Amino acid sequence: MIVELTPLPGIGICRMFTTVDGRRVGVVTHRPGGRRDLVYESPDDPDATCSLTLTRDEAVTLARLLGILDVLDIVTVAESSPG
């Protein structure tokens, strides 16, 4: 899967990818402060973007729901196991 990185001068960075059904989804990370906006294109109008602002705790909770922290836990355990 290709993740497109787009610098947003004065705002931060937008990271987006295209789903298998053709929808574009991503996250805008604001600088300073690190606020994150979950963004996605409207299926009816590709020029219209919808967003949901998340606090750091909300972003971590969403990551847990998506399973990313489970993957990180497995990698951490594997790296700390002897031999």
Residue 26 contacts residue 5 (beta carbons within 8 Å) = no
Can you tell me which residue has the tokens 């990551």?
63
Interatomic CA distance for residues 23 and 21, integer angstroms? 6
pTM listed for this prediction: 0.69
Residue 38 contacts residue 30 (beta carbons within 8 Å) = no
Work out the angle at residue 14's Cα, subtended by the Cα atoms of residues 10 and 20, and round it to the nearest 5 degrees.
Answer: 165
- What pLDDT band is residue 56 in, cutting at 50, 70 and 90? confident
Q: What pLDDT, on the 0 to 100 scale, is given for residue 47?
A: 78
Instruction: Identify the DSSP state of 66.
Output: H
- What pLDDT band is residue 16 in, cutting at 50, 70 and 90? very high
Q: Given a cut of 80, is residue 43 above it in pLDDT?
A: no
